[in-house]
């Protein structure tokens, strides 16, 4: 099972429409874990299965101007490792794919094309998908696609949260991209 559906939502939290906020949470968390429970039960009963959950390296940093989205990805990154552990004595594996900024419709749909991260060069989605698929087939716990993202994740793990939030502002604040 590939639990990949998800979307972002740019702009400051207080300036967002709450229906849009709820939709991010409903899609990225509620809908995703609802499906995971149904399919996961079938896999456990059958005695085998592979699950790939698309989390994000965004789950490691407070996402100023993408706050709710990053929170949903922190949830999914954490949930993935917990579910993996719960299923460790079964033949059902759970893998968390943690991409960095990837060249998809994501930033346009999140209304972030005027931001630095929205305009910067991004990873090839085919490479990211392959890294995730291969990790799932190996039964790995997680995969961060790309060496730059691995470096960013390692730095994030030793950087204070307030500093990470400030760094995130620089790339995600509306108007932070080139005019
Ligand atoms: N792009 C990045 O930089 C990046 C980085 C880290 C993680 N991710 C994660 O990667 C996953 C895929 O995103 P993407 O980058 O490929 O963005 P995308 O091009 O916008 O694709 C999003 C996908 O999710 C589906 N989706 C969105 N909302 C849905 C809903 N409410 N119900 C059912 N399907 C829904 C979309 O289906 P439709 O096309 O039918 O709407 C589409 O297939 C997401 O979980 C995202 O958070 C992306």
pLDDT at 145: 87
Instruction: Output the CA 105–ligand 1 centroid distance in Å.
Output: 8
DSSP code string of 107-140: HHHTT-TTSHHHHS--B-HHHHHHHHHHHHHHT-
Q: Which residues line ligand 1 (CB under 6 A)?
A: 4-7, 27, 54, 56, 99, 101-102, 104-106, 109
pTM to 2 decimal places: 0.97
Average pLDDT (170-174) is 98
| Mean pLDDT of the 92-112 span | 98
**87: exposed, middle or buried (C-beta count within 10 Å: 0-12, 13-18, 19+)?**
middle
pLDDT for the residue numbered 179: 79
As a whole number, the mean pLDDT across the chain is 97
Q: pLDDT confidence of 168, banded at 50, 70, 90? A: very high
Element (DSSP H or E) covering residue 39 = helix 32-46
Q: How many CB atoms lie within 10 A of CB 179?
A: 4
Q: At what angle do helices 18-25 and 67-86 cross, to 10 degrees?
A: 20
Specify the pairing of strand 2-3 against strand 49-54. Answer: parallel
pLDDT, one tens digit per residue, over 23-71 is 999 999 999 999 999 999 999 999 999 999 999 999 999 999 999 999 9
- The ligand 1 atom at the shortest distance from the C-alpha of residue 72 is 47
The 10s digit of each residue's pLDDT in 140-156 is 999 998 899 999 999 99
pLDDT of residue 64: 98
What token pair was written down for 24?
A: 């991010």
Q: How far is the CA of 89 from the centre of ligand 1 (A)?
A: 31
Cβ atoms within 10 Å, residue 75: 17
- Of 3, 6, 54, 129, the residue with max ligand 1 atoms within 8 A of its CB, to mutate for a pocket test, comes to 6
Among 34, 70, 37, 36, residue whose Cα is nearest residue 55: 70
The answer to whether 24 touches 8, Cβ cutoff 8 Å, is: yes
């Amino acid at each position: 099972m590939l639990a990949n559906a998800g979307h972002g939502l740019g702009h400051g939290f207080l300036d967002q429409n709450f229906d849009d906020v709820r939709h991010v949470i409903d899609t990225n968390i509620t809908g995703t874990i609802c499906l995971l429970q149904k399919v996961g039960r079938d896999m456990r009963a059958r005695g085998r299965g592979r699950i790939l959950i698309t989390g994000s390296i965004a789950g490691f940093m407070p996402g100023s101007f993408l706050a709710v989205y990053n929170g949903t990805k922190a949830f999914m990154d954490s949930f993935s490792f917990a579910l993996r552990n719960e299923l460790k004595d079964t033949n059902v594996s759970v893998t968390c794919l943690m991409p960095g900024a990837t060249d998809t419709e994501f930033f346009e749909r999140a209304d972030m094309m005027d931001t630095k991260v929205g305009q910067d060069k991004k990873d090839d989605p085919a490479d990211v998908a392959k890294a995730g698929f291969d990790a799932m087939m190996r039964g790995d716990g997680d995969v961060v696609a790309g060496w730059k993202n691995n470096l960013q994740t390692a730095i994030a793990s030793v950087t204070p949260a307030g500093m990470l939030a400030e760094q995130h502002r620089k790339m995600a604040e509306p108007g932070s991209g080139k005019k």
